[in-house]
Chains A and B, each alone.
Chain A
Amino acid sequence: MGQQTVSADVLCVGGGIAGLMAAIRAAEMGAKVVVVEKADTSRSGAAATGNDHFRCYIPEVHGDDVQPFVEMSMNANMGNPRSAGYHRTFLSKSFDIVKLWDSYGIPMKPLGKWEFTGQALPGRPRLALKYAGQNQKVILTREALKRGVQIVNRVMAFDLLTDGGGINGAVGISTREDKIIHFLAKAVFLGTGRCVRLYPSPTPGWMFNRAECPANTGDGRAMACRAGAELTNMEMPQSWAGPRNFSRNGKGTWIGVVRNPEGKPVGPFVSQPDRLHGDMAANLFPTLFGEFERNNQGPLYMDCHGMSKEDYDYMLWGLRNEGNTALINHLQEEGIDLQRDAVEFMTYELTTRGGIKYGEGGETSLPGLYAAGDEYFAGIATAATFGYIAGENAARFAKEREAAEQANLRADTEKRIELLKAAASRKIGANWQEANIALNQIMQHYIGATLAQPMLEAGLTNLRRLRQKAAASLISRNQHELTHCLEVLNLMDIGEIMFTAALARQESRGEFRRSDYPFTNPLLNNKELACKMVENRFVAEWKEIKK
C-alpha cells in the first residue's frame, strides 16, 4: 500500500454543498484548505444533479421581523429539537447565502424575481425559494478552486487523527489506487451526508435503488463518534417518500394532490394541484403511503391532473433542477403523461434522523472539529449556510493552532488498516455485499417500525457478532470494493449506535415507537440522547437540550 501525506490548515471531509461552502469561506479567510471527496465534487452526493428549492428568509419579501419565522421553524416537524438560536442564525444568514450563490452563477432568480413556490401550507408564509440548481455543484467546485482550495477526489477518509483530545486531520484510502493518504490539518470540517445503505432498499436484491445518494454511508458520523465526538438523536427514525420503485427524493417539487384509489384527497391541505403550495401531505407525513397500504386503503397516488400546461411545464422544469432528470426522461420514454396518468407513491426505507451534534457555529463537541449539512438532519439551505459559517470558524480556529508534525494513528485506526490489508490479500471470504445485506437484514428485522427491548437486545447481539465475522472474513478484489468494505464497517457502527440509543430511550416519541413503552415521558421533553464512544463501546447518555 502506497502512502502520501497532504497538509492543510482546514481539511473538509466530503465535498458536498456544506463541504464546498466551508472550503470557500475558509479559503477566503486565508486558510490553506483541502477538500477530500469520495467521488468527484462536481457531481457527488445528495445534491449531485441538482436542487430546486432553497429555504430562506428574505426581508423584502417576508417582512423585517424574523421572529415569527423562527417560531414557525421551531414548530415545523423538521425543526425540533434544534434551538431557537440555530433557527435564527440560519434564517438571518440565509439571504446572504442566496445572494452569494447568485453571484457565483447559480440561478437563484431564474424567472427574474424571488419566487417562493411549493413546500408550504395554505395560508402560511412560503420559505422555499425556487431556483435552478442543476449545475450547482459544478459551479461551487469552480468557486472553491478559484480561491485556491485543493480538491482531492476519489479518496475516502475513514478516520480522524486525534492527539490528546485535539483533532489533527484524517486518514483515507484512494478509491482507485492502492494508496493510503494522511491528511494533517489544524481543523477538520465534516460534511459527508446521510446514512443511506443501512436498511434494505425497496427493491429486493437491488442495493442501489435509493432516494438518496447510495455512496453516502454515514462516514462522518462513524469517524466522529470513534474519535470521541457526540452524536444525537440517532435512535430517531426517518423515511422519505416518492415514486414507487424509482426511488427518488423531490416530492415537494410535484404539483399534485395525494389521492386514495377512489380519487379522494388524503391530506387536509389541497384538493386541486396548487403550484404555490404543493401538497404538504407528502412532505409532512412521508410514512402515510406505507400506513395506507398496510391498512388496505392504498395505493396512494400523486395525481397532477387538472393543472394548466404552464404549471405542468413548470413542474417538469423544477423536477429536472431537483435532480430528477433521469426520472423525467424515463416518464417520457414510457409514455407516462402526468396530466393523464397518476403515479403511485410509496414510503421508502428507514434511516436515522440523528447525527453529529453541531451548534450554530458548526462546532461539534470536540474542539477543532466542525460539521454541517446532512451530518445531522438538515437540507440544502442549512448545509450551505452552516457550511459557510463553520468554514469561517474552522479557519479562525486553525490560525491559533500549531500543525502536527506527523500522523499519529490511534490503535483502532491501525487495526482498521490491518483489516483492509487482510481483506485485500484474502482469497476466500465475504465480499462487501454479503456484509451489507446481512446488516440490512438485521436492521429491518430488529430495529424496524415498532421497537421493543428483547428484539433490540437480540439485534444488537447479532450485529456485534456480524461485525466480528465481517472483520475477520471480508475480501476485496480492488480499491473500489475495499472502499465499500470501509463503508459497510461504518454503517455497522451507525447501526450499533442506533440500537444502543433505541434501547436507552424507554418511551415513545414522534415516529419513535416502543411497544413496551407506549407513552411519551414528559420528564424527557427537554432531553436528548448523546451517543459517544467510551472504552471502545458506544454508549448513550441523557443530556439537557440547551435552549
Chain B
Amino acid sequence: MPPVINEEKCIVCGKCAEICPQDVFFGSENNQVPVISYPEECWHCGACTLDCPAEGAIRLRIPLPLMLSYKALPH
C-alpha cells in the first residue's frame, strides 16, 4: 500500500507527514520514521516523493485497481 518508506534511507525529518494532503501519516511522531496509518486514503499525488529530501527514502506503490488500461498501437 502506498506510500512505502525505506527505513534505512529515511532521515526522520518528518517532511512527508508534515505536508501530506490526506494526512495518511496521522499519528507519526517527531524524530521517528513516519507511520502510514491510513494507506487507503492515499491520493497518489506524489507530494511526499516530491518533497522528501533523502533520495530513495519514499516511493509510491500504485495499487492494482489503479492499473492503467492501454493498448499497444500497430504502428
**A residues at B contact (CB < 8 Å):** 39-40, 42-45, 48-49, 134, 154, 175-176, 203, 206-210, 213-215, 243-247, 299, 301, 303, 305-306, 323, 325-326, 329-331, 333-334, 336, 340-344, 478, 480
Q: In the bound complex, how far is the Cα of B65 from the Cα of A536, in angstroms? A: 41
Determine how close the nearest CB of chain A comes to the CB of B41; give it in whole angstroms. Answer: 5
Q: In the bound complex, how far is the Cα of B22 from the Cα of A48, in angstroms? A: 11
Are A39's CB and B20's CB within 8 A?
yes
CB-CB under 8 A for A336 and B68, given A208-B43, A213-B43? yes
Are B72's CB and A341's CB within 8 A?
yes
Which of the residues B22, B27, B41, B73 comes within 8 Å of A303, measured between beta carbons? Answer: B73
Determine how close the nearest CB of chain A comes to the CB of B43; give it in whole angstroms. Answer: 6
Q: How large is the interface on B (under 10, 10 to 19, 20 to 34, 35 or more residues)?
A: 20 to 34
Are B23's CB and A175's CB within 8 A?
yes
Residue-by-residue, is B14-49 near A (CB-CB < 8 Å gives 1, otherwise 0)? 000011111100110000000001101111111101
Q: Is the interface of A mostly helix, strand, loop or mixed?
A: loop
- Beyond A45-B21, A344-B68: 13 further Cβ-contacts under 8 Å? A39-B20, A43-B47, A44-B21, A49-B45, A206-B40, A208-B40, A208-B42, A215-B22, A215-B43, A326-B62, A331-B68, A340-B73, A340-B75
Q: In the bound complex, how far is the Cα of B71 from the Cα of A336, in angstroms? A: 9
Are B22's CB and A42's CB within 8 A?
no
Determine how close the nearest CB of chain B comes to the CB of A419; give it in whole angstroms. Answer: 21
**B residues at A contact (CB < 8 Å):** 18-23, 26-27, 37-38, 40-47, 49-51, 60, 62-63, 65-73, 75
Q: Which residues of chain B are within 8 angstroms of A329 by Cβ–Cβ distance?
A: 46, 49, 60
Are B40's CB and A209's CB within 8 A?
no
Are B47's CB and A342's CB within 8 A?
no
A202: nearest residue on chain B (CB-CB)? B65
Q: Which residues of chain A are within 8 angstroms of B62 by Cβ–Cβ distance?
A: 246, 326, 330, 333
Which of the residues B41, B63, B72, B75 comes within 8 Å of A214, measured between beta carbons? Answer: B41
Are B68's CB and A39's CB within 8 A?
no
Are A134's CB and B22's CB within 8 A?
no
Most chain A CB inside 10 Å of its own CB: which residue of B40, B60, B72, B73: B73
Q: In the bound complex, how far is the Cα of B25 from the Cα of A175, in angstroms? A: 12
Are A244's CB and B21's CB within 8 A?
no
Q: Which residues of chain A are within 8 angstroms of B20 by Cβ–Cβ distance?
A: 39-40, 43
